Amino acid sequence: MVKSGKLRSGTGSKLKRWKKGHSSDSNPQTSRFRQAAKSRYFSRPSEKSDLTVDALKLHNELQAGPLEITGSRKDACMEEDAGEAFSDRTSGTFLSGLSDCSNLTFRKVQRYWESNSAAHKEICAVLAAVTEVIRGQGGKETETEYFAALMTTLEVVDSAESQAAVAYLLNLVMKRVPTPVLMSKFSDTTKALMDVMSKQATSDTASALRWILSCLATLLRKQDVSVWTYPSTLQAYHGLLSFTVHSRPKVRKAAQQGVCSILRGSDFLFTDNAPTHHPAAVTTAKFCMKEMEQAGGSKEDTTTLHVLGLLKELMGTFPLGSVKSCCETLLRVMTLSHVLVTASAMQAFHRLFSGKPNASTLSPELNAQIITALYDYLPSENDLQPLLAWLAVMEKAHVHLSGLQSSLSLGHLPRLFSAAMSCLLSPHTQVVSAAANTLKTLLTECVAPYMEEMGMITATASAGNPSYVCKMFRIVEEGLSYRFHASWPFVLQVLGCFYRVAGKRAHPIMTKSLQSLADLRTTPHFPFSGELDLAVGGAVESMGPEVVLGAVPLNITGYEDDLEFPRSWLIPVIRDHVKNTHLGFFATYFLPLASTLKQRAEELEQAGQKLEAKVYQTLQLQIWTMLPSFCTCPVDLLASFKGIARVLGMAINERADLRLIVCQALRTIINKSCSTEEEKAEMGRFAKNFLPIFFNVYSQQPAAGESGTYRMAILDTIKVYLTVTPTEMVCTFLQKATDRLSSTDSNEFTRLSMMDLVVAMAPSVDEATMTKTFELIKPYLETKDPGMQKKAYRVLEEMCGGERDECRAFVVANLETLKVVLLETLKNASSPAKRPRLKCLIHIVKRLGEEHKDFITALLPEVIICTKEVSVGARKNAYSLLVEIGNAFIRFCGNTKDALEQYMILVFAGLTGSVTMITCTVLALTRLVFEYKDAIDVTTREQLLHNICLLLSSRTREIVKASLGFIKVILFIMDAKTLASHVTVMMEGVGSIKDDVRRHFRTKLKNIFTKFIRKFGFELVKSMLPAEHHKVLANIRKAEARTKRRKQASEQHEDSDSDQEAPKAKSQSIEDILAESDSDLSEDEGKGGKAQKKAGKPQKGRAWLKEGEEDDPLNFLDSKVSQRVLATNPAMKKSAKVEHGFKVTSDGRLIIREDDEEDVKDKDGGEMKDILEEAGVKSKKTQKRKFRDDNFDEDMDIEPQLKYKAGGSGIHRPLGGRDDMGAEYKSKKGKGDVKKQGKLDPYAYIPLKKDQLNRRKRAKLQGQFKGMVRGAQKGALSGRKMQKRKGKA
């Protein structure tokens, strides 16, 4: 935009300026406008005037403001009774045809009637007139009628403005006219449009031209393919084509869009027997080439650029011969080294390849020829934007060629790899990154799909596709040489991608590079270890660990090892990347090695070499950590698992340190690797071996001081293993567990453990065993031991909630018994057992029918009371059960509103109970109102709201707290219009809160008042509340205003920051890449910037010549001289990096860490979370410990690891005792202090404070000094005595 008060840049030279000293002349010499005005007043016009009586009348009506009434009146006296005298026809306005036009095509025009633009008013007037004509003839206002009327009008009107208005409306309506109409009226319509077009082309005003061109394009697009054989059709098309290089941008754009729509979107191209190319495609290509050749690539002539812009869109529609000719022309104009022409030609090539045309447009041979030719236009590695564009075009060209003919594509890839690798030497990071991304894309798109066909690739491959892969890898491998050291992160990324793509088939040629990487990794202070590890990880993924370790051995034997273990970095790399490999390799190589290292560690421990023993112990543990990765989809599971199963069983039984790893490995195999029935059966075959080991380990009480964390992993593994265990075997194990549970010899720990195992196995047995288990656990549902009672309910929960058919059959068969048992055990249910009991009830209620309504009614009081349970899980299940009961009532009744009314009446009864019952009932109602907000009847909701508002006057804080939560939810779910009728009641309720309760809930009340003010305004809320609340309301208003100001300021600050720093987004298209190629200005030109601004806009298409290196002259006859013509100023300094506040890795990735608590909380998100907590949908964060799993048993003897660390004062102080001052200076060998290098001397340093000058505080300070002096004297005395003793000795 042009700044106000200033002229647009470049207009200064065009304006006629006053001569110096004549700016105040009242009668200037030039007065052509005055002369023109005089001529109109005092002389008759020589030509035929457009000023008619009708036109003047229309002008007056347009200028009159309010639309006047037209229509004949029989007598002027009847004006008083106009309402009675007017017929339906005469009561219209002059724009009636516009305002009530029923055709949807012109709805866009109806917005123009209030516009001040003369062109818009003309369009409205024409539409109104045409509509009136159609109505006068009894038309139905169809598109065809409008088309006919507008075509007639176009031939009649003479003025340019009217023609433009008619052409605009015609352009709108022709897109919706039926195709047969346009086909039948083709010749007449074409002639009329061509006549107007020829007149407009020669006149000064061409306002109608772009709409006429659009109409002509629409007309041609609708014609049949046979019409294109007529010369008249081609003549009309050539007329349209000639305007594609017009000097006016809008006309040129309309013509180009029209040509594109014809060649790409003609109707006959989408029929069954459609031709492969449009009949006019060849003539269009010839026109484009002719225009470019006539322009001759002159810098001043922009025709070449206009044609290139058209070709960019159309080349994909041309036949093969035309595409070849156009490409030759493009390559010729690129030799001119004109920056903008070259950039536009590259855009055309990019669009051609991106469109992925078929072989009839772009054959593999032509594609390959273009690729070869483009190497002559390779920009310099210092030329940023053109080089990025060249890489993008070559990438698309090779990807497209790969889809057409893979062998030809692979043959051309080595040369591009060589060029891209040389780009890695560029000083521009963008070029290096783009080159690396290009190489990775080529490997993924052009090499990876064809690797399986090649077979094994060796270094001796001399011909065909394998030889091309060898060449490419050697080129990339060259990047590990020192001259590429600045780009090593990117080289390593490409190398890793190559390993992943071709490592499986080409690993014989890659072993040398792996050895080079291993040598680099052991180099001191190697900065790119992370990237190197990822590259080697790619090799591990594709080649497998066996091949990688064959090339780069671990060099760890257990005896006579280098204790630095320089290759130990391979262990975590293999652990993180190995998958789909041979499990047998782990059994034959790593397991014996781990055993040797373990044995060596024990020997060293006995020999007293504890440090060395610790190193070997750590190494063998690291080797074991690879086991879960080897178990991820192994290819030889059926053959290898039986060889490793016994070792794993022994490890679980005997090695406590390996239990977590082995359990994870077994879970991984079952969850991720058992895809076939054979594999599941193979794992199930070993259930009889593994499950008894798991049961024994789980039921053993950990020794004193031993951690029991492995027990949860064991239990999880048991649950997973049961999924592949035969049902008969599970029934047998369950029988043994229940026998041991009822045994009198078992202690409490064993009984709890057995109950956990029963919980795990219960849903996996048959129906008969389930019923038997239910009978067994029934006594435990009434036991006094809360732990056992809870676990008994967990067994019941698992059986009732299982997805298997046996579980459903068990519930149906034992439904009556379950109902009786659950009602009888209600009074004995302990608090810890509430969560599984409620979960069990949820599963049962889902399966109940209408005949069980009494059972649900009997449950309701217990469920309501449980909304105030201590356990978060119990509260959550209580709320879920309330909703489930509501769904059951809806299921019984059918009508949602009636069902909810019955349900609400049952819940309302709780409002007459005790304080706790009232509180719980309000919480339950809050959840139900939130859940069924759209289904509850209005009267029921009003009654409920009135009752809750009455409860606000209670003296009990709990009741008021629950009621305020209800109010908060109501404010959220009800719209302002409905809420307005209840606002008085709510305000009276809030105002009636007792003073002590109000003070206690001041924060909640402030939150509610804020919501009221946002919905109804400050003044209304203030008028409805008592005076004691007014101070809070004023504070809220100030806070809201402050927040609003800060938000506006921060938005303005962000806008200004983004304007100043706006980092350029990663270019997605070649247009973005080349957008900056003409915008660089040198520093030297910057000095003359002011002068340049005065002269006008800086010239586009600037180019720089790069001089020869050192003393070498610039040779213009060199074949690569085009690389010396730069679009980027070589002297331009790199722009300063924008600080974004994040750390960056060596390969350019951002490191973003999320804090536990964000500094700024999202207001809307926080408010929604608050509402969900009040409604019981989400549990409030009141618990200090969070457990991830709902099924976690509090009775498990596992202490969770707490993240809290003591620090601070008071109750947060650390309890370990305070460190002595100066303890770090104490001598280890004797008494006294010693001096430490790099630290202060060991003296007592007294800080100098301003308080020391205060006379009143001087006495206190003197006492401190005296204490220090006494301490120093005491220390000096003991030191002298020691010296004397030493002297005597």
Segment 798-822 mean pLDDT? 86
The DSSP call for residue 912 is G
pLDDT reported for residue 1127? 60
pLDDT band at 217 (very low <50, low <70, confident <90, very high): very high
Beta bridge partners of 1104: 1126
pLDDT reported for residue 1088? 43
Query: DSSP H helical segments within 952-1017, as ranges?
Result: 957-973, 976-980, 983-991, 995-1000, 1002-1016
- The gap from C-alpha 460 to its chain's centroid, in whole angstroms, comes to 47
Segment 967-992 mean pLDDT? 84
pLDDT reported for residue 691? 92
What is the C-alpha separation between 645 and 666, in angstroms, rounded?
A: 10
Look at residue 1198 and tell me whether its pLDDT is greater than 60. Answer: no
Segment 1005-1015 mean pLDDT? 86
pLDDT band at 1248 (very low <50, low <70, confident <90, very high): confident
Look at residue 257 and tell me whether its pLDDT is greater than 50. Answer: yes
Segment 1095-1107 mean pLDDT? 52
pLDDT reported for residue 1079? 43
Calculate the CA dihedral of residues 168, 173, 179, 185 and round it to 10 degrees.
-60
Output 1251 or 65, whichever has higher pLDDT.
1251
pLDDT reported for residue 935? 82
Look at residue 511 and tell me whether its pLDDT is greater than 50. Answer: yes
The candidate with the shortest Cα–Cα distance to 501, out of 467, 543, 465, is 543
Output 100 or 776, whichever has higher pLDDT.
776
Task: Please write the tens of the pLDDT for every residue from 170-194.
Answer: 888 888 888 899 888 888 888 988 8
What is the C-alpha separation between 875 and 866, in angstroms, rounded?
A: 6
Output 1084 or 1104, whichever has higher pLDDT.
1104
Look at residue 849 and tell me whether its pLDDT is greater than 90. Answer: no
pLDDT band at 1059 (very low <50, low <70, confident <90, very high): very low
What is the C-alpha separation between 307 and 329, in angstroms, rounded?
A: 11
pLDDT band at 24 (very low <50, low <70, confident <90, very high): low
What is the C-alpha separation between 500 and 538, in angstroms, rounded?
A: 5
pLDDT reported for residue 79? 35
Task: Please write the tens of the pLDDT for every residue from 132-172.
Answer: 888 888 888 888 888 888 888 888 887 888 888 888 888 88
Phi-psi region of 211 (alpha: psi -120 to 50; beta: other; left: phi over 0): alpha
Look at residue 418 and tell me whether its pLDDT is greater than 90. Answer: yes
pLDDT band at 1211 (very low <50, low <70, confident <90, very high): low
pLDDT band at 69 (very low <50, low <70, confident <90, very high): very low
pLDDT reported for residue 1017? 85
| CA dihedral over 129, 134, 135, 141, signed as positive or negative | negative
Task: Please write the tens of the pLDDT for every residue from 461-475.
Answer: 777 888 899 999 999
pLDDT reported for residue 1100? 45
pLDDT band at 631 (very low <50, low <70, confident <90, very high): very high
Segment 303-325 mean pLDDT? 89
* The two structure tokens encoding residue 96: 């009636």
Output 563 or 596, whichever has higher pLDDT.
596
Look at residue 1203 and tell me whether its pLDDT is greater than 60. Answer: no
pLDDT winner (highest mean) among 76-90, 95-109, 126-140, 1144-1158: 126-140
Average pLDDT of the chain is 79
Segment 296-302 mean pLDDT? 62
pLDDT reported for residue 1137? 45
Q: What percent of the chain has pLDDT over 90?
A: 24
What is the C-alpha separation between 977 and 938, in angstroms, rounded?
A: 13
The DSSP call for residue 246 is -
Could you tell me if 780 and 788 are in contact, meaning their C-beta atoms sit under 8 angstroms apart? yes
3-state secondary structure string across 513-551? HHHHHHHHHCCCCCCCHHHHHHHHHHHHHHHCHHHHHHH
- Distance between terminal CA atoms of the chain? 97
CA atoms within 13 A on the CB side of 639: 8
Length of the chain: 1289
pLDDT reported for residue 336? 78
What is the C-alpha separation between 1131 and 845, in angstroms, rounded?
A: 79
Look at residue 908 and tell me whether its pLDDT is greater than 90. Answer: no
Look at residue 595 and tell me whether its pLDDT is greater than 90. Answer: yes
DSSP reduced 3-state for 981: coil
Output 1136 or 347, whichever has higher pLDDT.
347
pLDDT reported for residue 22? 61
pLDDT winner (highest mean) among 290-299, 595-604, 1198-1207: 595-604
Look at residue 70 and tell me whether its pLDDT is greater than 50. Answer: no
* The two structure tokens encoding residue 234: 């081609």
Look at residue 219 and tell me whether its pLDDT is greater than 60. Answer: yes
Output 1027 or 1171, whichever has higher pLDDT.
1027
pLDDT band at 17 (very low <50, low <70, confident <90, very high): low
What is the C-alpha separation between 537 and 581, in angstroms, rounded?
A: 13
DSSP labels, 1249-1263 = -GGGG-STTHHHHHH
pLDDT reported for residue 80? 36
Output 36 or 407, whichever has higher pLDDT.
407
Output 1164 or 1175, whichever has higher pLDDT.
1175
Look at residue 11 and tell me whether its pLDDT is greater than 60. Answer: no
CA atoms within 13 A on the CB side of 1204: 9
pLDDT reported for residue 261? 92
Task: Please write the tens of the pLDDT for every residue from 489-508.
Answer: 999 999 999 999 998 888 89
Segment 729-733 mean pLDDT? 91
